[in-house]
Amino acid sequence: MSKHIDCHVKSLEYYNSDTRRLVLAPEQPLHFKAGQYLEVILPDKRCPFSIANAPHVSDLIELHIRPTPDSADSDDIEHLLDTSQEFLIDAPKGDCYIESVPDKPLILLAASTGVTQMKSIYEHLQHLGHRKPVYLYWGVLADQDLYLDSLCRQWQQDNPHFHYEPVISEPETSPNWTGRTGLVGNVALEDFADVSDVIVYVSGSPGMVYATLDAFVARGMPPENMFSDVFTYAPRTTTENS
C-alpha cells in the first residue's frame, strides 16, 4: 500500500549533459519491490519515476531524471530539482516487479531512462544470489545517452551470467558508434532462436512496449511471460487487440 513520504535531497549530480542522479533520504524507510516506481507530488500534478535502487537499500531512494522537451511536467520537475531540498512522494506504485529469482532466462528491455527499473531488478537479483542468465538490452537515441554504460559493463565483467547489449536507434547521431543499431526489441530477437521459455520485462513508451510484445509473441513467447507497467496504465482496447 502506497503512502505519502517526505524526503530530503541527499545528493544531486549529473551523469552526463542532461540526466541527473537524485538521491533522496526519506523520513521513514521505503519498503518496495524491485521494479516499482514512485510519484513526485507537485501542487497540481504527480510525476512518476522508477526507483533505481534495489529494495534492500531502504534508507535511500535513487531516481534518474532527464528533461523531456516541450513538457510542462518535466519543466516543473527540473525547477524543483534546481530550487528545493524537499520532495513529497507517493510510494510504492506499480505492478511490474520481481520478488524472487525467476526459473527461466530473463530478458530486460529498456528504453532511455527506463533502464532505472532494470537496474533495481538486476541489483535485487544479485542480492538474492541469482545465478541464471540475465540479458539487458538498453535502447537509446544516441551513444551519449548511455549514461550507465560503465556500470552495465562492470556488471557483465563481474557476472558471467549477465549479458549487456546497448542499442542505438538513430546511428546518424553517433558517427563513432560501432555497436548494435535499430529498435531494441528487434535487436534482442536477433539473438534468440527460441523465446518460448523466457521471461521479459520491458520499460518504455506504450508504442514501444506493445510493438515489442507483438514481435515476441509472433516468435512464440506466451504473452503472459512479458511484464510492463504499460499494461496497467495504458491497456490496449478491444479494437487495438483485434
How far is Cα 196 from Cα 219, in angstroms, rounded to an integer?
8
Query: Are 129 and 84 within one domain?
Result: no
Residue 1's pLDDT is what? 84
For residue 101, tell me if it sits in a domain. no
User: pLDDT exceeding 90 applies to what percent of the chain?
Assistant: 96
Which helix H or strand E contains 132, and what residues bound it?
none
Give the model's pLDDT for residue 238.
59
The verdict on 61 and 85 lying in the same domain is yes
User: Is there a single domain that holds both residue 134 and residue 214?
Assistant: yes
Q: Are residues 161 and 201 in the same domain?
A: yes
Beta-strand pair 20-26/3-14: antiparallel
- Tens of pLDDT, residue by residue over 103-112, are 999 999 999 9
Which structural domain, as residue segments, surrounds residue 9? 3-93
Local confidence band at 240 (pLDDT 50, 70, 90 cut-offs): low
Is the pLDDT confidence value at 242 over 50?
Answer: no
pLDDT for the residue numbered 241: 54
Within-domain flag for 98:
no
Same domain as 88, residue 27: yes
Interval 155-165: pLDDT, tens: 999 999 999 99
Q: Which of 69-73, 117-121, 236-240 has the lowest mean pLDDT?
A: 236-240
- Assess whether 23 and 112 both reside in one domain: no
Q: Is the residue at 190 inside a domain?
A: yes
Residues 32 and 117 in one domain: no
Domain count, the chain: 2
- Average of per-residue pLDDT values in the chain: 96
- Domain with residue 28: its CATH number is 2.40.30.10
Which cell goes with 168? 542505438
Are 130 and 229 found together in one domain?
yes
233 and 121 housed in the same domain: yes
Helix (H) or strand (E) run with residue 78 in it:
helix 72-83
The reply to whether 26 and 144 lie within a common domain is: no
pLDDT at 161: 97
Does residue 19 belong to any structural domain of this protein? yes
So what's the pLDDT on residue 209? 97
Task: Give, in order, the Cα–Cα distances in Å from 208 to each of 13, 110, 197.
Answer: 29, 10, 22
Residues 88 and 208 in one domain: no
Average of per-residue pLDDT across 169-180: 97
The mean per-residue pLDDT over the stretch 56-79 comes to 96
- Predicted confidence at residue 237, as pLDDT, reads 81
